[in-house]
Amino acid sequence: MGVKVFVGVKVFVGVTVFVGVRVFVGVKVFVGVRVFVGVRVFVGVSVTVGVIVFVGVKVFVGVIVLVGVRVFVGVTVFVGVNVGVSVTVGVNVLVGVTVFVGVRVFVGVTVFVGVRVFVGVKVFVGVEVLVGVTVFVGVKVFVGVSVTVGVMVLVGVRVLVGVSVTVGVTVLVGVKVFVGVKVFVGVSVTVGVIVLVGVTVFVGVRVFVGVNVLVGVTVLVGVRV
């Protein structure tokens, strides 16, 4: 308990419980169960095999490799690469460049500003705000409110239930299922299958190649190809 500053290489096997403020610079290898409460600043490379429970504020710069389960409650600022399985509950704030490979389950509120590359399976329940460039390859299931400002590239399957507001450019290759209210302003290029159930408002240019099934109300202002 207290304040801990570490510089170097650390290898840990077992169970650790930490309460307080921690500053870490270097390489960390962790095997086991970890419970952390407080403020954490991390710069370097982190390899974790096991379970992580985190409550508080986290600032991370570097590379994360996670094999196991992660439960997060609080605010996180992440710049780097994330690989593995991530389970997050709470508020997630990401600023910078994020690369994620694996499976992610998120419940809560996420705010993202920057460049994001995601490969794998994502299940999201809550509110998502994306500002910048997003590249997604895989399967995404979203329930809640999604606000996107910028460029989004989706390759794979996307299922969205709720409210979606998009301002910018969207490129979709694959299958999209949408149930709810969608507002789009910008340029949309779609190759594949789209199923829309609900209300859609579209302003801009739309290019579509494939099969489109629409049930509900559609308002289109602009050019449609």
The string of pLDDT tens digits covering residues 139-169 is 999 999 999 999 999 999 999 999 999 999 9
Beta carbons within 10 angstroms of residue 39's beta carbon:
16
Which among 61, 51, 91 has a CA at the least distance from the CA of 75?
91
Which of 2-11, 57-66, 191-200 shows the lowest per-residue confidence on average (mean pLDDT)? Answer: 2-11
Torsion sign across C-alpha atoms 190, 122, 117, 199: positive
Q: What is the pLDDT of residue 89?
A: 85
Q: What is the pLDDT of residue 175?
A: 94
Q: What is the pLDDT of residue 1?
A: 59
Contact 172, 192 (CB under 8 A): yes
Q: What is the pLDDT of residue 29?
A: 87
Half-sphere exposure of 5 (CA within 13 A, CB side): 0
Q: How far is 128 from 148, CA to CA, in rounded Å?
A: 8
- For residue 132, name the pLDDT band (cuts at 50, 70, 90): very high
With a cut of 80, say whether residue 223 has pLDDT above it. Answer: no
The string of pLDDT tens digits covering residues 190-202 is 999 999 999 999 9
Q: What is the pLDDT of residue 167?
A: 95
Which of 73-77, 175-179, 181-185 shows the lowest per-residue confidence on average (mean pLDDT)? Answer: 73-77
Contact 205, 222 (CB under 8 A): yes
With a cut of 90, say whether residue 54 has pLDDT above it. Answer: no
With a cut of 70, say whether residue 119 has pLDDT above it. Answer: yes
Rg (alpha carbons) of the chain, rounded to whole number: 20
